[in-house]
Amino acid sequence: MLEIRDLSYCYPDAEKPSLTGVSLNAGRGKILGLLGPNGAGKTTLISHLSGILQVQHGAILIDGSPLAVVRRKAPTRIAVAPQEYAFYPMLTVKENLECFAAAGRLGGERKRRRIVECLAFSRLERFVKIRAERLSGGLKRRLNLAIALLPEPELILLDEPTVGVDPQSRAFLLDAVKMIANSGAAVIYTSHYMDEIEAIADRVVILDDGKILRDGTLDELLRDGVAHMRLAVEGVPADEMNALLGRYGKVESVGEEWRVTLAHDRTPAELLAAVEKLGGRLKYVEFGRNNLEQLFMALTHRPLRD
């Protein structure tokens, strides 16, 4: 549905581009998890899709047609639920929905039906007469989502939709996102919560410094962790452990935990046998699968970004 080809963008007076050669795809009925530290280029990418930024280099295609053409003809095919509470705090829930429904060119019966459906979908029926400024964080997030869904978009971008909500609202929102995808829309979901992406994304793109570092299904990405071992051992002095593990690959010590990236010609079984031979008692050992957070941190490194 969405195809981004070699997209690059540099803001006026910026020292370096915000996006460099970004290519990705998002399909109908699928959730694309977009990960990246602050300043990675996510907002620039979303701004392109929401029509705020024009393409400088590369192409963005919707079903093969340039995004600009699609937006001109039917801007509501693509919706954005921004990170901010992008509605009018002094208006009630219903007034906000009416305002944005009209802005999205919904009218008459369809407008009334969509407002009812979106209220039901976000479970906001009980709050229609409440001013948006008086809603809790979770309800505000739900309203933000409901507004985005009003024109029945084919592609929806959800920018950190669970920031500042309680676990119940978060679970509800994640289920809602899955339902949106199941109904046939293409969903791009950005978040800093790796467990959310792991829970709902069919495909994950890791973006940093304006470039795509990884793009694949969760299985494909986490399979990279097959060469990593984490273990804690008793009964062997640290210097001896370090020397032993060093023969099997690259070693890192974090507290009592040893992290080993195995060399190509070494196996976990050999390493564990060597530890036992040295008299070490294993407290725990993990092997075979990274989690998304480890992969993300390994790829983007630890320095603060802002």
Tokens of 306: 């802002």
Nearer to other proteins by C-beta: 70 or 173? 70
- Contact status: 279 vs other proteins (CB under 8 A): no
- Contact status: 128 vs other proteins (CB under 8 A): no
Separation CA 50–CA 58 (nearest Å):
16
**Of these, 10, 55, 61, 86, which contacts other proteins (CB under 8 A)?**
86
- Contact status: 99 vs other proteins (CB under 8 A): yes
**Of these, 90, 120, 171, 273, which contacts other proteins (CB under 8 A)?**
90
- Contact status: 87 vs other proteins (CB under 8 A): yes
- Contact status: 39 vs other proteins (CB under 8 A): no
- Contact status: 104 vs other proteins (CB under 8 A): yes
Nearer to other proteins by C-beta: 9 or 296? 9
- Contact status: 98 vs other proteins (CB under 8 A): yes
- Contact status: 55 vs other proteins (CB under 8 A): no
Judged by CB under 8 A, the stretch of 24-32, 34-42, 87-95, 293-301 that binds other proteins is 87-95
Nearer to other proteins by C-beta: 136 or 217? 136
Nearer to other proteins by C-beta: 7 or 78? 78
- Contact status: 103 vs other proteins (CB under 8 A): yes
- Contact status: 54 vs other proteins (CB under 8 A): yes
Binders of other proteins among residues 131 to 160 (CB under 8 A) are 131, 147, 151
Nearer to other proteins by C-beta: 189 or 296? 189
The amino acid that residue 57 corresponds to is H
Nearer to other proteins by C-beta: 140 or 203? 140
Closest of 18, 35, 102, 27 to residue 62, by C-alpha = 27
Tokens of 140: 């505000």
What is the nearest approach in angstroms of other proteins to the Cβ of residue 216? Answer: 29
- Contact status: 278 vs other proteins (CB under 8 A): no
State the residues that interact with other proteins by CB under 8 A.
50-54, 71, 75-76, 78-80, 82-91, 95, 98-105, 131, 147, 151
